[in-house]
Amino acid sequence: MSKASDLKRIEQLRAEIRRHDELYYRNAEPEISDFDYDGLKRELADLEAANPELPMEASPTQAVGDDRVEGFESYRHRLPMQSLDNTYSKDEFVAFVARVEKGLEIENAHFTVEPKIDGVAVSLTYEQGELVRAVTRGNGIEGDDVTANARFIESLPGSLQGDFHPDLIEIRGEIFMHVEEFERLNAERREAGLEQFKNPRNLAAGTIKMLDREEVAKRKLDIVLYGLGDCRPAVVSSQIEYRKQLVLWGLPVVERFWEVEGAEGAWSAVEELDEVRGGFAFPTDGAVVKLDSFSQQDALGATSKAPRWAIAVKFAAEQAETVLERITIQVGRTGTLTPVAELQPVQLAGTTVSRATLHNQEEMARKDVRVGDTVVVEKAGEIIPAVVRVVLEKRPEESASFVFPERCPACGTEVSKIEGEVAVRCLNSECPDQVRGRLEHFASRQCLDIEGLGEAVVDQLVARKIVSNISDIYGLEYEDMLALDKFAEKSARNLLAAIEASKGVELWRLLHGLGIPQVGASAAKDLAKALGGVRELSEASVERLVEIDGIGEKTASGIVAYFGDERNKTVVDALFAAGMNPKAPERPSEADAIFAGKTFVITGTLPTMKRDEAKALVESKGGKVAGSVSKKTDFLVAGEAAGSKLTKAESLGVTVVDEAELLKMSAD
């Protein structure tokens, strides 16, 4: 491949992987299987290795994802929480063992093999045997403090048993949900007409990050512990000893664990694990093979991201072959055309699969999927099944490449390919499929969360032309509801009450629900916090928007374009006319708002405060914290080793203060 095309692909992959990281870590709503995700990462790592002159800091191959969300305190891990390298192949695994043995100049290294739990990573700190903190992995350096939620986990002891405890220990493990509990909660939701959770991992991740304590208490989570962070003083010297110690302290550990020697020994254990994993309490998506001795682990060390002494061997998701009968095109709420494979029904991982996503035009072209082909489908972690590849040997003699439609199948409008995007879109905002999609999104759990306004109800309301945009929901009457299938007095009243109640939602939910391009839940939260109202958002310029933490150029232009469209303005006005009254996040009172209208930039290492703390202090006094210095910056708070920002601030004549001065100003 040429350098130019490598570069283009690298950029595409980085953007794509970042998007999937956000979906998986922050939103707990992944779109693709782990296998496909790992494939994208592998392709990127290979391209980056072939182009070593390119800057790497910005690459998702250099970091773990970030699970931190609004509403939790950040807490810095004493030792970073790393990720693991992974492989799906025996050859690569054998090469890993060879590297370890070569690095240590030994043969038949001792390893432990244990399940890889598909849950949410967490680090517990026990001081003098008492649980003081539970923190998510976050970005590996600092995570969200979820102690209050973790205390609801029944199997997690608040104090370690016995009287032999280190002064301080970080114990790492995985929070997960039992399949039975997952099914129980989903059955309850089905009865209430609510959207279903896709798999136990997403539900566990969503639950541990809930701000509603009562709801957390109702959902049963569980935990297993396997890893060690900081420990003062050190008390064990190998994986095996550590596991025994965890048991003595009364902590839950993985139920099966193998002690093995060399590559062959380890591989047999991996295979055995694959056979028995169906019986484990937790979802298991692989095996983790670790060098047993801590001194050997230390001798090998780690890369910026993962230890050199461990590897995850992942089990590929279950796959099945079937015939692709037709390709249909779905039109989403933003007008994106998604190709869907209509399949001859086939049994896969316990369910019958008759449809699978083909992702987008580019993916389809890459796999050259054709009608009549025999394809391999896969379902990973109960996510929507996907077509993995075509079995070319079984391709019928006469077959033709699929021609992607030039007109929207729902409304007939000519479709457009937008520069820099993979998606092909229908740009007609009145397209019935888009209208349906927008309504479903608006009412969904991550937005206005209107109970009872799910897919089936929206379909009917749109088909009967009772509603054609989101504001029409607020004009619905009792009689409209009674006319719907399966609606009786009670369900109609409940839905009306839920619609009424949604007028008082938190502002970010409304912003997310509007369906502004690029504005997902986390951007909506950033916007709500910074601007405090829909009117403020609609009047903000691109320049103002990019000053907000978390908002980039693309999102900013998406927002301005959205409010520049008269039709959107009409809908927003109608929402407010109907009585929409969203709750803005709390703002500091006038008296506290001594930094109102002032923009700060914080740089370097401050003597006592963490940067997040300084930021919170400025914000609590009504000030804003921006990421870069410009003419609009009022103060630069500079600590040790302040670099280019300090130089720039000085050249622009921005007032530079240190931590002590900041504290003094805040106290005035």
Distance CA 214, CA 236 (A): 38
Min dist CB 82 to ligand IVH, Å, is 4
Work out how close the CB of 114 gets to ligand IVH at its nearest, in angstroms, rounded to a whole number: 5
CA distances in angstroms from 523 to 46, 527, 529, 572, 575, listed in the order given: 31, 6, 10, 19, 21
Residue of 273, 338, 288, 312 whose CA lies nearest to 32 = 338
CB of 129 to ligand IVH, least distance (A): 23
Per-residue binding string, ligand IVH, 407-426, x by CB under 6 A, is --------------------
Q: Which residue lies nearer to ligand IVH by CB, 36 or 619?
A: 36
The answer to the question of residue 82 lying near ligand IVH (CB under 6 A) is yes
The residue (of 82 and 434) whose beta carbon lies closer to ligand IVH is 82
Query: What is the nearest approach in angstroms of ligand IVH to the Cβ of residue 320?
Result: 26
Amino acid at 30: P
Residues 290, 313 contacting (CB under 8 angstroms): no
Residue selected from 114, 373, 433, 440 as contacting ligand IVH according to rule CB under 6 A: 114
SS3 state of residue 607: coil
Rounded Cα gap, residues 409 and 323, in angstroms:
23
Helical segments of 288-408, H only: 294-300, 361-367
Task: Give which of 204, 205, 188, 206 is closest to 196, Cα–Cα.
Answer: 188
Query: How far apart are alpha carbons 26 and 446 in whole angstroms?
Result: 12
Shortest spacing between CB 288 and ligand IVH, in angstroms: 4
Please identify, among the stretches 77-85, 320-328, 437-445, 579-587, the one whose residues bind ligand IVH according to the rule CB under 6 A: 77-85
Verify binding: residue 223, ligand IVH, rule CB under 6 A: no
Using alpha carbons only, give the angle 516, 549, 13 rounded to the nearest 5 degrees: 70
Annotate each residue in 288-317 with x if it binds ligand IVH (CB under 6 A) or - if it does not, as one string. x------------------x--x-x-----
- CB nearer to ligand IVH: pick between 60 and 115: 115
CB 595 within 8 A of CB 628: no
Residue 83 touching ligand IVH (CB under 6 A)? yes
* Closest by Cα among 425, 433, 431, 441 to 337: 425
Q: Is 5 helix (H, G, I), strand (E, B) or coil?
A: helix
Do the beta carbons of residue 134 and residue 122 sit within 8 Å? Answer: yes
The C-alpha atoms of residue 595 and residue 622 are separated, in whole angstroms, by: 5
| Helix, strand, coil distribution of the chain in percent, nearest 5 | 40, 20, 40
| Strand-pair category, 168-176 with 222-232 | antiparallel
Using the rule CB under 6 A, give the single segment among 11-19, 112-120, 569-577, 652-660 that binds ligand IVH. Answer: 112-120
Residue 208 or 646 with smaller CB distance to ligand IVH: 208
Task: Determine the Cα angle at 602 with ends 599 and 605, to 5°.
Answer: 165
How many chain residues bind ligand IVH (CB under 6 A)? 15
State the nearest-atom distance from the C-beta of 71 to ligand IVH, in Å. 22
Closest distance to ligand IVH from the beta carbon of 611 (Å) = 25
Q: Which stretch binds ligand IVH (CB under 6 A): 110-118, 160-168, 416-424, 638-646?
A: 110-118
Name which of 226 and 600 has its Cβ closer to ligand IVH: 226
Identity at 583, one-letter amino acid code: K
Binds ligand IVH (CB under 6 A): choice among 30, 143, 227, 385: 227
Query: Judged by CB under 6 A, does residue 260 bind ligand IVH?
Result: no
Binding positions for ligand IVH, 311-370, rule CB under 6 A: 312
- Whole-number Å distance between alpha carbons of 663 and 614: 9
Structure tokens at 55: 């800057």
Which residue number, 174 or 449, has a Cβ lying nearer to ligand IVH?
174
CB 408 within 8 A of CB 331: yes
**Using the rule CB under 6 A, is 383 a contact of ligand IVH?**
no
Q: Is 141 in the site for ligand IVH (CB under 6 A)?
A: no
Question: 286 or 515: whose CB is closer to ligand IVH?
Answer: 286
Q: How far is the CB of 224 from ligand IVH (least distance, A)?
A: 8
Provide the mask over 567-596, with x wherever binding to ligand IVH is found by CB under 6 A and - wherever it is not.
------------------------------
Q: Which residue from 204, 194, 217 is spatially nearest to 446, judged by alpha carbons?
A: 194
Alpha helix locations (H) across 223-311?
239-248, 262-276, 294-300
Which residue lies nearer to ligand IVH by CB, 228 or 356?
Answer: 228
Sign of dihedral through CA atoms 140, 144, 145, 148? negative
Residue 307 preceded by cis peptide, ω within 30: no
Using alpha carbons only, give the angle 294, 297, 303 rounded to the nearest 5 degrees: 145
Residue with smallest beta-carbon separation from ligand IVH: 121
Least distance from C-beta 316 to ligand IVH, angstroms?
15
Contact 74, 612 (CB under 8 A): yes
Only one of the segments 108-116, 272-280, 341-349, 520-528 lies at the binding site for ligand IVH (rule: CB under 6 A); that segment is: 108-116
Question: What single DSSP character describes residue 278?
Answer: G
| Closest distance to ligand IVH from the beta carbon of 83 (Å) | 5
* Choice between 226 and 595, CB closer to ligand IVH: 226
Distance between CA atoms of residues 181 and 282, nearest Å: 11
Q: Can you tell me the distance from the alpha carbon of 185 to that of 194, in angstroms, rounded to the nearest whole number?
A: 11
Query: Among the candidate windows 68-76, 82-90, 336-344, 479-487, which touches ligand IVH by CB under 6 A?
Result: 82-90
Choosing from 97, 121, 177, 556, the residue that interacts with ligand IVH (CB under 6 A) is: 121
Stretch touching ligand IVH by CB under 6 A, among 65-73, 109-117, 327-335, 572-580: 109-117
Nearer to ligand IVH, 121 or 461 (CB): 121
- Residue 174 binds ligand IVH, judged by CB under 6 A: yes
Q: Which is nearer to ligand IVH, 93 or 562 (CB)?
A: 93
| Catalytic residue chosen out of the listed positions 116, 220, 290, 645 | 116
Minimum Å gap between C-beta 84 and ligand IVH is 4
Give the residue among 237, 140, 220, 226 at the shortest CA–CA distance from 183.
Answer: 220
90 labelled catalytic: no
Question: What is 48-83 written as a DSSP string?
Answer: HHH-TTS--TT-GGGS------TTS-EEE-SS----
Q: Which residues are marked as active site? A: 116
Residues in touch with ligand IVH (CB under 6 A): 82-84, 114-117, 121, 174, 226-227, 288, 307, 310, 312
